[in-house]
Amino acid sequence: MTVYVIAKLNITDPETYATYGEGFMEIFMRFGGKLLAVDENAEVIEGSWPYTRTVLLEFPDKAGMQAWYNSYDYQKLVKYRFAASTADIAMIEAFPAPVN
């Protein structure tokens, strides 16, 4: 079943974060990921949204997402994101299609 990853980030060091960004897509796409949205200025409809970047990712399934996140190459790269930002990240499963 398709899964989505929602990342809400506060980037505190854009220069170091850029190093993360430079290597991200190549690793991400190896695991079947799709980048659905990246927004620096999310329009708040309710509540507050104190984040500098919001990202929405898609994977064909939970196993693919976990393989990407736990991969050696991503773990080597993600240290730059850890050093340059704080984040709240969650994985959610797609709503199952109704059976006709």
Say which CATH number the domain at 24 has: 3.30.70.100
Number of structural domains (the chain) is 1
DSSP state of 2: -
Q: Is residue 98 part of a domain?
A: no
The pLDDT assigned to 96 comes to 82
The pLDDT assigned to 79 comes to 98
The pLDDT assigned to 99 comes to 76
- Output the CA–CA distances (angstroms, integers) from residue 21 to 16, 45, 54, 84, 88, in the order listed: 9, 28, 14, 11, 17
Q: Is residue 75 part of a domain?
A: yes
Collect the ranges in the chain with pLDDT lower than 50. Answer: none
Q: Is residue 89 part of a domain?
A: yes
Q: Is residue 99 part of a domain?
A: no
The pLDDT assigned to 46 comes to 97
Q: Is residue 13 part of a domain?
A: yes
Q: Is residue 14 part of a domain?
A: yes
The pLDDT assigned to 65 comes to 97
The pLDDT assigned to 25 comes to 96
State whether residue 85 is helix, strand or coil. strand
Which residue range(s) make up the domain with 61?
A: 3-43+50-93
Nearest to 9 by CA among 89, 93, 68: 89
